[in-house]
């Protein structure tokens, strides 16, 4: 064969179209799989002007096997196997993106394999063979000359790789015997540990979410007609998103609405649309073009570190899936499918629009191989009250449609085909929870009194408008912490002043005469947006975030404060400033609030009846010397989650260290007591709003330390109120004071264990102290 340039295709053809047609013609010929694979590499080498073309396929154990080659030694086929990260081929597989090297032997990752006879070949191009975002293999091309590869050559190989992935998946090239050692259908119980993204427990049947639409027609006969089909499907897609927004399923002012507004913007993304059109113009059908761009996005998604970038790619992938459906059924709207009763959806990922279109009367749980607490799917799941676990990698490969599943949104567990013991335990747990909830509901309107008559003030943490009906449902006295950043995180642009004002007014209306504490934006760290600067930091939790970012971008902070001032007209406005570490920061933040009050007065806007400034105590600098800060504020709130991770120098997002240290130990308890005493001395009310306020035992201990106001997740108010009612705070406080004053070592038993015993002696039931708070 005489290699020719891939650009010099036959008359009337453009780019790799002739190559694609030759591949199609090859697949129409009946011959043995290996002979077909060998001829395929020869065609690719000829059409791309390469001296070598090789196909490496991923084996069940993850190794990359040389499955066919043109140009290397034939005896190396099916004998050469590379580790997943070995050599340049392994580098392509690991990165899941193309690699072009002018002089391969000089590359630090080059792995010399003498059995292939590759000594004469210098340049190297490798592209991943991806299907559904998963690596199927690697396609490579090599030449004798030391030369750079053109974008056209790489583009051609990517197109061929996409087509190759579909051919491999169809089984036309690989015999079933090659996978004879694989388990055809898993049958035993399996357990996956992931991330708890939306609380709750669900027991139901698996519905495997397969948004991928397989097309058997990959090569276009008429590129112009295919582009017309693509444009028509894009129009249908956009119309469908508009109809979903207009349907009333996502009311204005809710996070779900903001998610869909951002989603609509992605549907108009010019870069994405142009990528699709270019793929069609290269000779692919509209479906093949969407699949190719989708795979490229997924490969980037799997390697991305930036949280917002990952979320944007999730939305683009979801749009691609919907676009494929519009291509397969023009003009048909997606209805979410027919779900069985007690359906638990399991998927690699899911977009917010698809999730909102599911039948909510039948969908009871969600499990994703990907996902994070800040992902759009998690935000919507929380808003809908659907238990959800994420980051259960590999679970999709182990589930069959109709399998029994248990989603544990409390501990981030997914049970597949659970045994009788697990089913019984979770069924009893569900019944116990239901019984406990009935008891909590019965005492909802009763005051939160301890066994010795101490009145406690239990408030609720929230961040979504849809959560607020639970204030009345749980008997919470108010919202002790409203996290305002969610509205910003789900939007692609800075929320307009009117939208912010409308949300904050809706929050105040929803809780009536109960108090609400609005925490100003706590962005940065793991909370990123598209329109605020993203700074790569070695330790984001200690970096440029929250008030630090707000003071460096005062316009952003003032914009939010302006909305809060307008929303609270005629009412009390409580504003809490997070991540304060210097007196000057609190002074500056308070000045911004005063400026907005003056601005509203000058322009004749109605003012809040009262404005209170709050200090969030979550840095050691403030906790060890609160006095100067308390003099500048009206109230304080202990942000125990951050305070404890800074105290222990342990990242609470890192599973290797987050559970290593216990809040119930003398040193942190002394710090919490010191903060409470300082607030009492300054005459400033103080609350605790971290995870430790949400756990019954820890809440009892906080009451024994003298705290009288706790703010927690809605689901924790009932259990905490029940625990407090059984606890003699005075007795527990006396015992605790002795323990903290003692210098004697207690290495034989941790303080938590001794405290559980003391709590039970003080009247606290053991069923309320079995879960440890994490910080």
Q: How far is CA 292 from the centre of its chain?
A: 24
Q: At what angle do helices 307-328 and 286-303 cross, to 10 degrees?
A: 160
Answer yes or no: are the C-beta atoms of 621 and 695 closer than 8 Å.
Answer: no
Distance, in Å, from the CA atom of 635 to the CA atom of 650, rounded to the nearest integer, reads 28
Catalytic option among 53, 633, 679, 689: 689
Here the tokens at position 249 are 């399923």
Marked catalytic residue, from 297, 308, 314, 376 = 376
Pair of tokens at residue 53: 């073309």
* CA 730 remoteness from chain centre: 43
Q: Which single residue is written with the structure tokens 């705070």?
A: 729
CA–CA distance, 483 with 504 (Å, rounded to integer) = 11
Distance from C-alpha of 85 to C-alpha of 78, rounded to nearest angstrom? 18
Q: What is the largest CA-CA distance in the chain?
A: 94
- Helices 270-281 and 223-246 pack at an angle, to 10 degrees, of 150
Closest alpha carbon to 375 in 366, 628, 331: 366
What DSSP line would sit under 522-539, residue for residue? --BTTB--SSS-----SS
Q: Quick one: CA torsion of 232, 233, 234, 240, rounded to 10 degrees?
A: 110
H/E stretch holding 53: strand 52-58
CB 638 within 8 A of CB 687: yes
CA dihedral angle for residue 5, residue 10, residue 15, residue 18, rounded to 10 degrees: -100
Phi and psi at residue 26, to the nearest 5°: -60, -45
**Closest of 475, 489, 418 to residue 445, by C-alpha:** 475
Q: What angle do CA 698, 625, 672 make, to 5 degrees?
A: 10
In DSSP terms, 285 is beta-bridged to none
594 is catalytic: no
Residue 107: active-site member = no
Q: Which residues, 6+ apart, have CB-to-CB distance to 160 below 8 Å?
A: 16, 19, 20, 23, 44, 139
3-state secondary structure of 113: coil
Edge-to-edge strands of the sheet including 388-390? 190-193, 413-416, 404-408, 201-208, 343-347, 363-368, 388-390, 195-198
Catalytically annotated residues: 376, 689
């Amino acid at each position: 064969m005489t290699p020719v340039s891939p650009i010099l295709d036959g008359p009337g053809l453009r780019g790799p179209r002739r190559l694609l047609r030759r591949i199609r013609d090859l697949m129409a010929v009946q011959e043995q799989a290996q002979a077909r694979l060998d001829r395929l590499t020869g065609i690719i080498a000829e059409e791309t002007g390469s001296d070598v073309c090789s196909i490496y396929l991923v084996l069940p154990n993850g190794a990359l096997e040389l499955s066919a080659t043109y140009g290397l030694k034939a005896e190396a086929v099916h004998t050469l196997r590379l580790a997943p990260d070995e050599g340049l081929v392994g580098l392509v597989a690991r990165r899941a993106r193309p690699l072009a090297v002018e002089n391969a032997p000089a590359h630090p990752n080059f792995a010399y394999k003498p059995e292939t006879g590759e000594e004469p070949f210098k340049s190297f191009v490798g592209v991943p063979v991806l299907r559904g975002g998963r690596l199927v293999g690697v396609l490579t091309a090599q030449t004798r000359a030391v030369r750079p590869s053109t974008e056209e050559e790489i583009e051609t190989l990517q197109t061929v790789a996409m087509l190759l992935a579909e051919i491999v998946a169809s089984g036309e090239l690989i015999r079933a015997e090659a996978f004879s050692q694989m388990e055809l259908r898993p049958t035993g119980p399996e357990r996956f540990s992931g991330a708890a993204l939306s609380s709750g427990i669900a027991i139901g049947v698996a519905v495997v979410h397969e948004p991928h639409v397989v097309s058997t027609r990959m090569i276009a006969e008429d590129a112009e007609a295919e582009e017309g089909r693509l444009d028509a499907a894009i129009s249908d897609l956009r119309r469908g998103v508009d109809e979903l927004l207009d349907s009333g399923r996502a009311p204005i002012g809710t996070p779900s609405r903001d998610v869909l507004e951002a989603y609509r913007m992605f549907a108009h993304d010019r870069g994405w649309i142009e990528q699709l059109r270019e793929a069609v113009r290269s000779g692919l059908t509209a479906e093949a073009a969407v699949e190719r761009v989708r795979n490229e996005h997924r490969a980037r998604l799997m390697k991305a570190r930036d949280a917002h970038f990952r979320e944007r790619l999730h939305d683009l992938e979801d749009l691609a899936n919907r676009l494929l459906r519009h291509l397969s059924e023009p003009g048909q709207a997606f209805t979410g499918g027919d779900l069985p009763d007690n359906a638990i959806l399991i998927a690699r990922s899911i977009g917010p629009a698809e999730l909102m279109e599911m039948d909510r009367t039948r969908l009871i749980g969600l499990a994703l191989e990907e996902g994070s607490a800040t992902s759009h799917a998690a935000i919507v799941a929380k808003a809908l009250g659907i238990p959800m676990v994420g980051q259960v990698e590999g679970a999709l490969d182990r589930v069959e449609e109709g399998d029994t599943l248990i989603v544990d949104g409390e501990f981030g567990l997914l049970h597949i085909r659970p045994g009788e013991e697990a089913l019984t335990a979770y069924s009893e747990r569900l019944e116990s929870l239901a019984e406990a909830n009935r008891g909590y509901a019965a005492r909802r309107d009763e005051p939160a009194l301890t066994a010795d008559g101490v009145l406690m003030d239990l408030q609720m943490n929230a961040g979504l408008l849809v959560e607020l009906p639970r204030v009345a449902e749980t008997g919470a006295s108010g919202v002790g912490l409203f996290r305002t950043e969610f509205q910003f995180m789900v939007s692609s642009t800075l929320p307009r002043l009117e939208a912010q004002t409308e949300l904050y007014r809706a929050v105040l209306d929803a809780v009536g005469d109960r108090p609400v504490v609005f925490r100003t934006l706590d962005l940065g760290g793991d909370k990123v947006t598209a329109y605020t600067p993203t700074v790569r930091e070695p330790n984001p939790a200690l970096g440029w975030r929250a008030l630090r970012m707000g003071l460096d971008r005062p316009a952003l902070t003032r914009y939010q404060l302006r909305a809060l001032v307008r929303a609270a007209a005629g009412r009390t406005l409580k504003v809490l400033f997070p991540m304060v570490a210097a007196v000057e920061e609190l002074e500056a933040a308070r000045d911004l609030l005063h400026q907005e009050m003056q601005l509203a007065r000058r322009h004749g806007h109605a003012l809040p009846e009262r404005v209170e400034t709050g200090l969030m105590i979550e840095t050691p600098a403030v906790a060890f010397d609160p006095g100067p800060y308390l003099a500048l504020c009206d109230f304080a709130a202990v942000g125990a989650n951050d305070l404890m991770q800074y105290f222990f120098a342990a990242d609470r997002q890192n599973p290797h260290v987050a559970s290593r240290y216990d809040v119930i130990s003398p040193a942190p308890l002394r710090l919490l007591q010191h903060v409470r005493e300082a607030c009492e001395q300054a005459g400033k009310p103080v609350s605790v709003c971290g995870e430790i306020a949400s756990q019954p035992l820890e809440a009892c201990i906080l009451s024994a330390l003298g705290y009288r106001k706790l703010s927690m997740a809605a689901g924790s108010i009932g259990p905490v109120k029940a625990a407090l009612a059984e606890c003699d705070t005075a007795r527990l406080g006396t015992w605790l004071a002795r323990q903290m004053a003692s210098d004697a070592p207690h290495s034989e038993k941790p303080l938590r264990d001794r405290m559980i015993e003391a709590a039970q002696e003080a009247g606290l039931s053991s069923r309320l102290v079995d879960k440890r708070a994490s910080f």
